[in-house]
Chains A and B, each alone.
Chain A
Amino acid sequence: MRAQVAIAIAVTAVASTALATEAPTKLSLTIYNKDLALIEEIRSLDPGKGRHRIEFKDVSASIRPETVVLSAPDVSIVEQNFDYDLLTPEKLMQKAVGQEVEIVRVNPGSGEQVREKAAVLAANEGVVLRIGNNIEVLRADGVPTRVIFPKVPDNLRARPTLSVTVQSEKAGTRDMRLSYLSKGLSWKSDYVALFDEKAGKLDMQGWITLTNTSGSAYANADTQLVAGDINLAGEIPAWQLQQQQLQRQQARQMRQAGRDPGPPPQLADYYVYPIRERTTIADNQTKQVGYLDVNGVAARKVYRYRASWFQTSEPTHVDVAVDFTNSKDAGLGAQLPAGVVRVYVRDVDGKPKFVGEDQIPHTPRGSELSVKTGEAFDVTVEATLERHESVSLFRSRYAMLYTIRNARSQPVTVSLRQDGLWRDGRVLEENLKSTNNDARSLQWDVPVPANGETRLRFTVETGW
């Protein structure tokens, strides 16, 4: 389609005859989340008989050359090279050291041109030439001087190039299969969720966002995407590990993992998403393909506040989240690959407006999800530690007052969670009934009237 699309291929026999070949008859891409793709292509090619070099120009700079596999009937690989010595004027001159070039001096006064042969002796800090019996520095006199090189050195290239030397048993056109892993291709999922609070419904679209920064384009590729965190050998940078850890800590978006069966096809533990139509992925492109479009998923808005310790704080806006499940009963019934959910609600004029975004992990069907959209402007919690007493050396008593204010014209319920309980933690008194999430936290669902406030008071005693 585009000039850059076809991976140019040339077969150079050792005797140096060049052949242009057809575009791949089949190109398939399997793209993973982690900046990784498996590229497979089939090309019809006549490798000739004997030992020849096949050049694959335009493979990406991000190719992992150690993963290249070329296979064809009656062909064996002698050696594989991945050259990334880029052709620049400086390199061109360096490679010409010890060789002969032509120089053309242009007389600045008369414009007269003098053409001479010169041998390049060195190209460090300036180019040293031997012209006849004299040694000179190129352009030391400031006189314009062109340098003409007889050819581009074989291993200097404008683009990274993979070359494979093969031993072919016989001549004749046949299918050659080339496969390799490459970086620079990745995908993620992006969700658009239009939330209707009154109806308690969510319209959700899932998009696959493909990004290609591999340096190559892929024409008419049969593409499939694999969702899942596959293990890759090699060192993981520290920041990445840290980030992963952070992500795990923060990944509370999935509140309950599902167990519903998923649809085929599946690949071991991972989800596979084939793109229905063949697609062309240009270089430096972000491409989106839709794969999920469901309306009327049951969803509800929740207000959450979490206190990690017993302490006084200024009024703080509570979190707003949209809770839903991707079970079939709720209307979604699809596994969700990890990605960002962007939530929209309609404004007073009925136009959808963006209200926040959150990340979800790879989510099996039937899971319970909570997507945080932001903080409520009108709902705040003010915490006061009213009393703090030591009961014994290792036990303390805390009396907390939470003032929950609601400036909205509708009543709300705030789910307030108190962490900080430790050994033998217990509630001594409370003005609203708490529930236990686990041994170390308590939870209250606090109803707050419209344009009003509710005070939650409790005293707990806990060891530490």
Chain B
Amino acid sequence: MRLWISLLASLVGSVSAADVVSNAIDATELTVYRDTNRGTDELSLNDDRSNGLAMVTETRTIEVPAGASTIQFRGVVDSIVPQTAKLEGIPATIVESNFDYNLLAPGTLIAKSLDRPVMLIRTDRETGEIQERRGILRSGPDGVIVDFGGEIEALNCSGLHERLVLADVPESLTETPTLSMKVRTAKAGKYQVQLSYLALGMDWSADYSARMDADGNRMDISAWITLVNRNGSRLADATTHVVAGTLARQEDETLAPDFDPPALSDRCWPIGDFRQRQRIKKQFDVIESHQMAPSMAISLDSIAVTASRVARASELGDYKLYTLPFSTTVEPRQMKQAQLLDLSNVRIDRLYEYRVTQDILSNDPAPESARSLLRFTNTKDNGLGIPLPAGTWRIMKLTDDGRQYLLGEQALEDTPVDLPRDIYLGASNDVTVLTRPVEEQSAEKESRDTIEVAIANAGATTANVEILHSRQLIENGRIVEESQRHQTKRGDYVWVLRVPPHERTVLRYTVAAPKD
């Protein structure tokens, strides 16, 4: 008994006069980085991986006394990585910075109220009569036990309507994530400070929608930045940037504190009858006290599409920084889009590709589809020449009667200026290839295989077809005869053929390989 009285006494003395509480955020700047682990996977709101990263800078106005004081920054983003917090804009020495992850919840409330006075209220089911008893909380939250002056009872084991009432919220619990800094200032005053930190649970991707013209020579591209906030925090009126590029990350070290509060359990002794074991599952009656932490009500996946103005691009070290043209409010569990770029008349090449593999040569040959693809080089001459952040490209085609069709989609990596890129659309129904070995000679030192590649074009336009044969397929091999001159590209021999509509073109080449 004496023990808890002394504890109470120490509580009263613990409110420091030099505590400064900062609730309001004047302005927020938000920079969102891509989740490097997601690769080219699509962005999702319900993804619970917390790897996406954001840098949050909050401008707050605080009034601090001279000397030592503790500033409590309330309402920081719930996935804050506390060790990344920095404070600027105040001539102060930061003695220490603390983040307590004791969020107010039924379980933590009980855990922190041990040995403190509580009241048990019983309501009679029939009469509505209320009975109150005062006692000391002895154990919890893993089953609650109360000591009523030598009569020990457990909560929710009697089958009566019972609830526990506490006098106040233990001081170490906060209802909102709070970062506190102990500072020492020479001069008292009002300061506008910048608090910045990294937070998890945010991610972004680029999404490209390209409309190819009827000839397949040009396309219009509009691209969107899709921003996702998987946190329970709201960022109001934030100046928002996204960063394109791959950051080195230490994911095991840059973590939000593990919010794993002890859960309040209604564990009781086994309650049963003669027939079989039966456990009375009871909803835990509400603990009356301050309002609980707001429930994590998941709003519908709202996708907000913002006004169609294009993001401003700039350099950030070796990355690209895109600034949204307006400040925006990022709601909890929201996906948001803004336009990244809008281009028209980009020059492209439509072509088909077919790769000769060892498989085809050994198996019973049958005609196969060529892969249809779209190729562009990121240059100014082609109507591009701007950095293209990684994302998914959707290629649409507009037909003469004004209908749109999806030709295919593919994810591309970050594409710097001058780099060529291929977007594979799918297997062609019109362009088919039949490959077969037509001659196999074996001399003393060398073997010679002649391969025939027959390309048929059932389409209405001329098809440009690339036939590829990997150079690594044949060690020390070389092409000794061919019906058309080959080129080399990366690790391949390449033959480019033009196949007019409704025609068939045949390529023949002979590969010589030394014998072991």
- Whether B145 pairs with A92 at a CB distance below 8 angstroms is yes
In the bound assembly, the distance between CA atoms of A108 and B100 in angstroms comes to: 46
Contacting pair B318 A315 (CB below 8 A): no
The answer to whether A209 touches B83, judged by C-beta atoms less than 8 angstroms apart, is yes
Most central of B8, B82, B95, B172 by chain A CB within 10 Å = B172
| Residues 293-348 of A contacting B (Cβ, < 8 Å) | 311-312, 314-315, 317, 319-320, 339-340, 342, 345, 347-348
3 nearest A-B residue pairs (beta carbon): A126-B272, A312-B491, A89-B154
Known: A126-B270, A390-B475, A407-B416. A355 touches B247 (CB 8 A): yes
18 A-B contact pairs sorted by A residue (CB < 8 Å):
A126-B271, A146-B153, A147-B157, A150-B152, A152-B147, A190-B84, A192-B86, A285-B99, A285-B101, A314-B490, A342-B84, A347-B314, A353-B241, A355-B247, A356-B249, A359-B250, A385-B472, A407-B417
Stretch at the interface among A43-51, A160-168, A372-380, A437-445: A372-380
Q: Does A386 sit within 8 A of B, measured CB to CB?
A: yes
B158 within 8 A of A: yes
Our pick among B2, B124, B273, B318 for the contact of A377 (Cβ within 8 Å) is: B318
A382 neighbours in B (Cβ, 8 Å): 490
Report A-chain residues with C-beta under 8 Å of the C-beta of B196.
Answer: 352
Interface residues in A278-296 by Cβ distance below 8 A to B read 279, 282-290
Collect the chain A residues with CB atoms within 8 Å of residue B8's CB.
Answer: 3
**B245 at interface by CB-CB < 8 Å:** yes
Q: How many residues of A contact B (CB 8 A)?
A: 110
Q: With the chains together, A385 CA to B492 CA distance in Å?
A: 10
From 290 to 328 in chain B, residues with beta carbon under 8 angstroms from any chain A beta carbon are 314-321
Check B96 for interface membership: any CB of A closer than 8 A: yes
* A145 in contact with B159 given A287-B96, A377-B387, A384-B490 (CB within 8 Å): yes
The answer on a CB contact under 8 Å between B99 and A286 is: yes
For the complex, is A411 an interface residue (Cβ under 8 Å from B)? no
Enumerate chain B residues within 8 angstroms of A354, measured Cβ to Cβ.
31, 33, 53, 55, 198, 247
Interface string of B465-476 (1 = CB under 8 A from A): 000000110011
The minimal Cβ–Cβ distance linking A230 to chain B, given in whole angstroms, is: 20
Task: State how many angstroms separate the Cβ of A323 from the closest Cβ of chain B.
Answer: 14
Say which residue of B84, B153, B270 sits within 8 Å of A124 (CB atoms): B270
Contact with B along A44-78 (1 / 0, CB 8 A): 00000000000000000000000000000000000
> Which B residues, 9 to 41, have Cβ-Cβ distances below 8 Å to chain A?
10-11, 14, 29, 31, 33
Tell me whether A347 and B414 are in contact (CB under 8 A): no
List CB contacts (< 8 Å) of B240-284 with chain A: 241, 243-250, 253-254, 257, 267-274, 277
> Is A405 on the interface with B (CB-CB < 8 A)?
yes
Contacting pair B419 A126 (CB below 8 A): no
The answer to whether residues A279 and B96 also contact, given A109-B126, A152-B138, A356-B248 and a CB cut-off of 8 A, is yes
Q: Does B97 sit at the interface, judged by CB under 8 A?
A: yes
Bound CA span A147–B146, Å: 12
A253 to nearest B CB, angstroms?
10
Binds B, one of A30-38, A134-142, A427-435: A134-142
Query: Chain A residues with Cβ under 8 A from B154's Cβ?
Result: 89, 92, 147
* Most interface-central of A4, A104, A138 (chain B CB within 10 A): A4
- State whether the Cβ of B3 lies closer than 8 Å to any Cβ in chain A: yes
* B271 x A139 contact (CB < 8 A): yes
Cα(A429)–Cα(B469), bound, Å? 27
Closest beta carbon of chain A to B92's beta carbon, Å: 12
A451 contacts the other chain (Cβ, under 8 Å)? yes
* A130-159 near B? 1/0 per residue, CB < 8 Å: 000000011111111111111110001011
CB-defined contacts of A372 to chain B, threshold 8 Å:
248
Known A-B contacts A317-B414, A379-B318, A388-B475; the reply to A282 vs B98 at CB < 8 A is: yes
Whether B6 and A20, one on each chain, are in contact in the complex, defined by CB atoms closer than 8 angstroms, is: yes
Q: How far is the CA of A83 from the CA of B270 in the complex (A)?
A: 24
Q: Does A121 contact B (CB under 8 A)?
A: no
Is B151 touching A3 in the complex (CB atoms < 8 A)? no
**Which B residues have a C-beta under 8 Å from some C-beta of A?**
2-3, 6-8, 10-11, 14, 29, 31, 33, 53, 55, 57, 82-86, 94-102, 112, 114-116, 124-127, 129, 138-140, 142-145, 147, 150-155, 157-160, 170-172, 196, 198, 241, 243-250, 253-254, 257, 267-274, 277, 314-321, 387, 413-414, 416-419, 471-472, 475-476, 488, 490-491
Q: Are the C-beta atoms of A111 and B145 separated by less than 8 Å?
A: no
Contacts known (A286-B98, A347-B316); A2 close to B171, Cβ less than 8 A = yes
Cβ-closest chain B residue relative to A86:
B142
Further contacts, 15 of them, CB under 8 A, given A127-B271, A147-B153, A356-B247: A3-B116, A90-B268, A111-B129, A146-B158, A158-B145, A287-B98, A315-B419, A342-B254, A347-B321, A356-B249, A357-B254, A373-B317, A374-B319, A378-B417, A380-B416
CA distance A284 to B314 in the complex (A): 41
CB distance from A424 to the nearest CB of B (A): 20
- Select one of B114, B115, B152, B270 contacting A125, CB under 8 A: B270
Judge whether B270 and A127 touch: CB under 8 Å. Answer: yes
Q: CB distance B152 to A151 under 8 Å? A: yes
Residue A93 interfacial (CB < 8 Å)? yes
Contact A289:B95 (CB < 8 A) given known A89-B145, A377-B245, A390-B475: yes
0/1 string, A184-204, CB within 8 A of B gives 1: 000010101001010000000
Residue among B198, B269, B271 with max Cβ neighbours from chain A (10 Å): B269
Q: Are B476 and A390 in contact (CB under 8 A)?
A: yes
Q: Which A residue's beta carbon lies closest to that of B3?
A: A20
B164 to chain A, nearest CB (A): 14
How far apart are the CA atoms of A357 and B241 in the complex, in Å?
19
Give which listed residue, A127, A359, A386, contacts B253 with CB less than 8 A.
Answer: A359
B72 to chain A, nearest CB (A): 13
Q: Is the CB of A288 within 8 A of B139?
A: no
Chain A residues near B270 (CB, 8 Å)?
A: 90, 123-127
Q: A147 vs B316: C-alpha distance in the bound complex, in angstroms?
A: 68
Residue among A6, A102, A285, A286 with most chain B CB within 10 A: A286
Q: How many angstroms from the CA of A347 to the CA of B321 in the assembled complex?
A: 8
Determine whether A8 belongs to the interface, using a CB cutoff of 8 Å to chain B. Answer: yes
Q: Which of B3, B31, B147, B246 contacts A317 (CB 8 A)?
A: B246
Q: Is A207 an interface residue (CB 8 A)?
A: yes
**Most chain A CB inside 10 Å of its own CB: which residue of B10, B317, B319, B476:** B317
Q: A419 at the A/B interface (Cβ < 8 Å)?
A: no
- Which residues on the A side are within 8 Å of B254 (C-beta)? 340, 342, 357
